[in-house]
Amino acid sequence: MTAISIIENRADEVQLPHWLQECLLNQSEADSDDSLICQAFNFAYQLHEGQTRKSGEPYIAHPIAVASLLRDLGGDSVTIAAGFLHDVVEDTEVTPEKIEEMFGVQVRLLVEGVTKLSKFNFSSTTERQAENFRRMFLAMATDIRVIVVKLADRLHNMRTLDHLKPEKQRRISQETREIFAPLANRLGIGRFKWELEDLCFKYLEPEAYEEIKALIAERRADREARIAQVTETLRSRLEKLKINVIELKGRPKHLYGIYQKMQRQQKEFSQIYDIAAFRIIVETNEECYRALAVVHDAFKPIPGRFKDYIGLPKPNRYQSLHTTVVGSNGRPIEIQIRTVEMHHIAEYGIAAHWKYKETGTSNTNLSSEDNKFAWLRQLLEWQKDLSDAQEYMESVKDNLFEDDVYVFTPDGDVIALAQGATPVDFAYRIHSEIGNHMKGARVNGRWSVLSKPLENGDIVEIITQKNSHPSLDWLNFVVSPTARNRIRQWYKRSHREENIARGKELLEKELGKSGFDSLLKSEPMQMVTQRCNYQSVEDLLAALGYGEVTQNQVVNRLRDVVKEQQPVEEISETEDTTTPFVQDYTERHGSKSPIIGVEGMLYHIAGCCKPLPGESIIGLVTLSSRGISIHRQGCHNVDKVPGERIIPVSWNDGSETGKPLTYPVDIQIEAMDRVGVLKDILARLSDRGINIRNAGVKTSRNKPALISLSLDIRDRQQLEYVFQRIKSMSDILNITRVMNSGDH
Catalytic residue IDs: 90-91
Q: Count of residues binding Mn ion (CB under 5 A)?
A: 2
CB of 82 vs Mn ion, minimal distance in Å: 11
How far apart are alpha carbons 723 and 734 in whole angstroms? 10
Give whichever of 156 and 502 is closer to Mn ion, judged by the CB atom: 156
CA–CA distance from 132 to each of 171, 173, 179, 405 (Å)? 18, 18, 9, 10
- Which 3 state secondary structure label does DSSP give 278? strand
**Which of 62, 502 has the CB closer to Mn ion?**
62
Rg (CA), the chain: 39
Rounded distance, CA 562 to CA 504, Å? 20
Q: State the DSSP string of 643-686.
A: GGGEEE-EE--STTTSS---EEEEEEEEE---TTHHHHHHHHHH
Q: Which stretch binds Mn ion (CB under 5 A): 31-39, 151-159, 305-313, 345-353?
A: 151-159
Among residues 118 and 583, whose Cβ is nearest to Mn ion? Answer: 118
How is 142-167 classified by DSSP, letter by letter? SSTHHHHHHHHHHHHHHHTGGGS-HH
CB 133, CB 105: distance < 8 Å: no
Burial 339-358 (b: 16+ CB within 10 A, else e): bebbbbbbbbbbbbbbbebe
Measured distance between the N- and C-terminal CA atoms of the chain, rounded to whole angstroms: 102
Contact criterion met (CB below 8 Å) for 262 and 269:
yes
Task: Determine if residue 622 is left, alpha or beta; phi over 0 gives left, psi from -120 to 50 gives alpha, anything else beta.
Answer: beta
d(CA 744, CA 734): 28
Q: How far is the CB of 192 from Mn ion (least distance, A)?
A: 15
How many Cα atoms occupy the beta-carbon half-sphere of 372 within 13 Å?
17
- Taking the complex as a whole, how short is the minimal distance between the CB of residue 118 and Mn ion, in angstroms? 7
Nearer Cβ to Mn ion, position 109 or 709? 109
Helix then strand then coil, in percent of the chain rounded to 5, is: 55, 15, 30
**Per-residue b/e over 677-689, b at no fewer than 16 CB within 10 Å?**
bbeebbeebeeee
Q: Which stretch binds Mn ion (CB under 5 A): 13-21, 149-157, 174-182, 722-730?
A: 149-157
Closest to Mn ion by CB, 143 or 153? 153
Query: In the complex with Mn ion, which residue's Cβ is closer, 152 or 212?
Result: 152
User: Which residue from 459, 453, 461 is spatially nearest to 402, judged by alpha carbons?
Assistant: 453
CB of residue 90 to Mn ion, shortest distance in Å: 8
Name the residue nearer to Mn ion (CB basis): 117 or 707. Answer: 117
Q: Determine how many CB atoms are found less than 10 A away from the CB of residue 668.
A: 15
Cβ closest to Mn ion, residue 89 vs residue 719: 89
Nearer to Mn ion among residue 87 and residue 334 (C-beta): 87
CA dist 252 and 222 (Å) reads 12
Q: How far apart are CA 482 and CA 473, in angstroms?
A: 16
Query: Smallest distance, Å, CB 191 to Mn ion?
Result: 19
Using CB under 5 A as the binding rule, the residues of this chain from 294 to 353 that contact Mn ion are: none
Residue 78 CB, shortest distance to Mn ion, in Å, is: 17
Distance CA 726, CA 709 (A): 12
Q: d(Cα 38, Cα 628) in Å, to the nearest integer?
A: 96
Distances (CA, A) of 191 to 90, 187, 278, 380, 389: 28, 11, 17, 24, 22
Please, what is the minimum distance in Å from the beta carbon of residue 457 to Mn ion? 19
Q: Counting runs of H as helices and runs of E as strands, what totals does the chain give? A: 34, 21
Binding Mn ion by CB under 5 A: which of 153, 175, 195, 425? Answer: 153
Collapsing DSSP to helix, strand or coil, 461 comes out as strand
* CB-CB neighbours of 650 under 10 Å: 14
Rounded to whole angstroms, the Cα distance separating 231 from 249 reads 7
Q: Is 87 in the site for Mn ion (CB under 5 A)?
A: yes
Q: Report how far residue 621's alpha carbon sits from residue 559's, in angstroms, rounded to the nearest whole number.
A: 31
Q: Is 60 helix (H, G, I), strand (E, B) or coil?
A: coil
**Cβ–Cβ < 8 Å for 256, 264:** no
Q: How far is the CB of 433 from Mn ion (least distance, A)?
A: 42
CA distance 27 to 25: 5
Candidates 87-95, 260-268, 436-444, 626-634: pick the segment binding Mn ion (CB under 5 A): 87-95
Report how far residue 430's alpha carbon sits from residue 314's, in angstroms, rounded to the nearest whole number.
37
**Smallest separation, CB 157 to Mn ion (Å):** 6
* CB of 87 or CB of 131, closer to Mn ion: 87
Asked if 148 touches Mn ion (CB under 5 A), the answer is: no
* Cβ-contact 335, 280 below 8 angstroms: yes
Kindly report the number of other CB atoms within 10 A of residue 441's CB atom.
22
CB of 121 or CB of 699, closer to Mn ion: 121
The residue nearest Mn ion at its CB is: 153
Q: Binding mask 163-202 vs Mn ion (x if CB under 5 A, - otherwise)?
A: ----------------------------------------
How far apart are CB 9 and Mn ion at their closest, in Å? 24
The residue count for the chain = 744
Q: Considering the complex, what minimum distance in angstroms separates the CB of residue 45 from Mn ion?
A: 15
Nearer to Mn ion by Cβ, of 76 and 87: the residue is: 87
- Per CB under 5 A, the segment of 146-154, 291-299, 549-557, 671-679 that binds Mn ion is 146-154
Window of 41-49, 86-94, 511-519, 652-660 that interacts with Mn ion by CB under 5 A: 86-94
Choose the binding region for Mn ion from 83-91, 127-135, 139-147, 452-460 (rule: CB under 5 A): 83-91
Q: Which stretch binds Mn ion (CB under 5 A): 153-161, 250-258, 334-342, 528-536?
A: 153-161
Q: CB neighbours of 371 closer than 8 A, spacing ≥ 6?
A: 76, 357, 365
Residue 44 found at the interface with Mn ion (CB under 5 A): no
Q: At 441, which helix (H) or strand (E)?
A: strand 438-443
Q: Is 59 in the site for Mn ion (CB under 5 A)?
A: no
Q: What residues form DSSP beta bridges with 477? A: none
Residue 510 is a binding residue for Mn ion (CB under 5 A): no
**C-alpha to C-alpha distance for 313 and 679, rounded to whole angstroms:** 56
- Binding segment toward Mn ion, per CB under 5 A, in 82-90, 310-318, 348-356, 683-691: 82-90
Stretch that binds Mn ion, among 85-93, 322-330, 514-522, 622-630 (CB under 5 A): 85-93
Report, in Å, the least distance between residue 153 CB and Mn ion.
4
Taking the least distance from each CB to Mn ion, the nearer of 156 and 353 is 156
Under rule CB under 5 A, residue 115 binds Mn ion = no
Q: What is the closest distance, in whole angstroms, from the C-beta atom of residue 86 to Mn ion in the complex? A: 5
Query: What are the residues binding Mn ion (CB under 5 A)?
Result: 87, 153
